[in-house]
């Protein structure tokens, strides 16, 4: 049992407290930052979320959430975030199109709805 604990500890890297972290994303809503954090982690980039808060009586509306990554991962993280933003923007530009079907079989020439019966 002690051997299995050693192998798990060997696989999991210990955080380096002296490691430089760089801000790659900020958001007003924590939920948006959590989505981006998941995106980065699914791409193999470790990240950390930090809440920015300010006294609301002095600075109303100031605050938010930032995502930090290792300095060596910052460029890749920014590229991934930018790619997703471009994809999202392209999806927003597309509009749903549909073909309207005219059903003249039951139409009344007076414009009244068809009667059941």
CA pair distance 87, 94, nearest whole angstrom: 11
* Domain coverage including residue 55: 17-89
Q: Report d(CA 117, CA 100) in Å as an integer.
A: 26
pLDDT tens for the 117 residues of the chain, in order: 445 455 444 454 555 777 899 999 999 888 899 999 999 999 999 999 988 876 666 666 677 889 999 999 999 999 999 998 888 777 655 555 555 555 555 555 666 666 665
Residue 108 counted as domain residue: no
Distance CA 38, CA 73 (A): 15
CA 85 centroid distance within chain = 9
**Would residue 33 count as lying in a domain?**
yes
Structural domain tally of the chain?
A: 1
Determine contact, residues 77/69, Cβ cutoff 8 Å.
yes
Q: What is the CATH number of the domain that holds 34?
A: 3.30.70.1530
Residue 38 lies in a domain: yes
Q: What is the pTM of this model?
A: 0.59
Q: What are the b/e assignments for 40-66, b being 16+ CB within 10 Å?
A: beeeebebeeeeeeeeeeeeeeeebbb
What was the pLDDT predicted at 9? Answer: 46
d(CA 24, CA 116): 63
- Written as six digits, the tokens of 75 are 């460029």
């Amino acid at each position: 049992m002690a051997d299995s604990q050693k192998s798990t500890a060997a696989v999991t890297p210990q955080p380096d407290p002296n490691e430089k972290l760089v801000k790659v994303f900020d958001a007003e809503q924590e939920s948006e930052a959590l989505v981006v954090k998941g995106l980065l982690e699914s791409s193999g980039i470790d990240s950390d979320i930090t809440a920015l808060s300010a006294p609301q009586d002095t600075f109303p509306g100031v605050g938010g959430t930032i995502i930090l990554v290792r300095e060596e991962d910052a460029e890749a993280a920014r590229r991934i975030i930018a790619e997703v933003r471009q994809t999202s923007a392209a999806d927003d530009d597309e509009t749903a199109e549909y073909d309207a079907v005219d059903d003249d079989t039951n139409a009344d020439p007076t414009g009244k709805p068809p009667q059941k019966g």
